[in-house]
Every structure is written in structure tokens, then in C-alpha cells.
Structure 1
């Protein structure tokens, strides 16, 4: 079983940091079901309208994570929290491009809860995971095709090296339609209370399994 921890340095720098880890087994990833796609389309349209006269940086979840980024040494205007990037896309176009059912659903969760979420192919993760503030050794090829230096950025690392962050994740651990076991790392709002965190993680787990089948469990880590 994979153990997930938060480094002491990250805890000291951001005392209120907390994450959820949802592990999925025996899932089937394909295109997003039409019924869910329609619901998400309505949500994106309503969200776009609500953002017309609002600055994305003023959204509560975005604001909280911009402060976290600054605390660890990341310029949030250069490297935006992933949910902020999603909000900006929706504000501009009213939609997001589709990847697959797992990524599409987690993008929806990210906007709904205003938090960064990474979803990874569990079979491509090797050994235990630590969330930490990156150093010179922490680099990977991102989903955007760029080599990402994670120095002074929050990153997740396994025995093979860094593979994810609340900015952009790595190609090494990305989920595809061949993925049958996955891990979601959920960056919870620092202001969130434990009971609310458990409710959020349970709701995410249940909806993901409703779409993908299989079974799942979650843990809250602080």
C-alpha cells in the first residue's frame, strides 16, 4: 500500500495545508457519458455567466492557493494554480476541452470545489509519495509538453522522482483509457474543516465510481 505524507518543511511553511487521497481500483476510463457531459455543459455555461464581472483571482479557493504559492516561493501570476487556469478557460470560452472521463470529471470537481486536483495512473507510481517543496532535482515532462522545474513549487514525488503538482502534472503518471487503478490527490482549501473535507472526499469518490465503476477508498492527510 502506498503511504502518502507531507514533508515537515511544507508543513512548517504552510501549517494549514491538507490534502485528500482517493485510491480507485478496477475502473474503466473512456469518453465522458453523455448525461454527465450535458450536466457539465450547463454548469460551465452558468459559471461563465457568473464570472463575467468577477476577477478570477478573487474566487475564494483561487485566492487561498495563490497565498500558498507565494509562501513556498512560487509566483502565482507566472505559475497559476491549476483550478485558476481552468476558471480562466471557462471565463473565456464557456467550456473545457475533453480528455477522457477521469480527467474531465476531475476538472469539474476542481471548478466546483475551487481546488487543484491531480489524477494519476497508480501503476506508474513507484513506492511511497511525499508532498514537498521542490528543489533542483525535481523536474519532469509536463502534460503541457514542457520540462517543468519544480524548485520552490509544491510537488508530489515517488521513488522515481517528482510527478505532480497543483500547477501541471507529468506525462509519466497521466491517466489514459488503459488505466485501471488511479490515485487522485485533492488539494483541500486550507480554511476547510475536517468534517467538510471528509464530506467532499466522499462525494468525489462516490461520483467517480458511479461513472467509472470499480471500488475506492480515501484518506485525509494533514
Structure 2
């Protein structure tokens, strides 16, 4: 497969189960090595970089990201122990956790409980993304990061991802196409190959598989904004 992700943009990977989306994320993080071809971040082949350096440049957020017992501050600083107060404030503002912070009795030093039980699902996911952003990654990988959220939190996280693009390059795996209709580009994968690349509306017009997926989720007739 071959495609290019412009820096500072949002690219969504979609396709049926087994299409290769998760494998591609694993290749990006060098859990596997490609048998042919190259993967580049900027102009650098990641195979020429130490694995630790590749993973330093990439942050990964999964659909049920771990939140540890401890305080909000401890959870955030786990990713970047040397983060400054200003960097913490910026990450909280981008992820709109600053409103939550204002309501917490001890602010950043409020305990969140085992697995973050005192937080809502949306708050836990925003915390995970804030933690990832504190690492200042070149590439942010979101693996079904909204899969367990209700429609309201899904929309809020979609807006968050839009704000995040520009600070880093965002790649996201999504089965719910409603979360990626405004992505800068969508890559449709099938059987380990790139089937089509385009925007939501161009793919609805031009690609049968994407049109079928969109129709199943009642998105095919959505008018352009």
C-alpha cells in the first residue's frame, strides 16, 4: 500500500474488519517491520531510527485508554514528567479539561480513583489525549478513541481532534464514520491495500465500499457543509 499524510492534518483509516488498519498502526510504531517498502516521518525512514526514537515521536490513544489511580496531575505527568505549568495548562485547554479542573475540589491534585472511576468516559478519553499531547508528538494515533462514547461526547471529541490537528499529524482508525466526515482525507483499506483516498463526500460519490459503509450508517445522503 502507498499513501501520503500531509503534516499537521487529520487522516482517517476506514475499512471492514481485517482490512489492515491496526496492522498499519503497529507498523508505524515498529512493532512489526515491513517486508518491502518504507515508512517515513518527514523525510526520514523510520527503519533507520532507533525504535525508542520512533516511539518518542508518536503518541497512541486507544479506545479504552488506561487511567491510573492517583491524581489528575500524576496521570498527566506520567507522559511528560518535566512538563511545565504552562504546558499543562495548554493541554488542559486544548482538550477542554480546564472546565472540569475548575469544578474539582483540589484542582489538579484531585484523586481520580482506580481506573479513573470518578471521571466520565468522555473525561477519561480527553485526559488520555491531553496526556498524549504533553509528549509533543509529531504523530498522534487514535485507535477507535470514540468507540465507547455517547453521541454528545463523540461530537466533543471530534471537535477536540480538529483542534489538535496543526499541533501534530493525526491518524485515526474509525468504524463510526460520523467521527471522520470532516477529516482532511480518508483512506479506505481493503485486504491490506489502499482502495481509495479522498474526502467523505468524494468517496461517497466515487467508491462503492465507502458508499456502502456510509449508507449503513445513514451518512451517504448527508449534504456538504
Q: TM-score range by the shorter chain?
A: under 0.3
Higher RCO, 1 vs 2 (CA within 8 Å, ≥6 residues apart): 1
**Higher Rg of the two aligned structures:** 2
**TM superposition score normalised by structure 1:** 0.26
Q: TM-score, normalised by structure 2?
A: 0.26
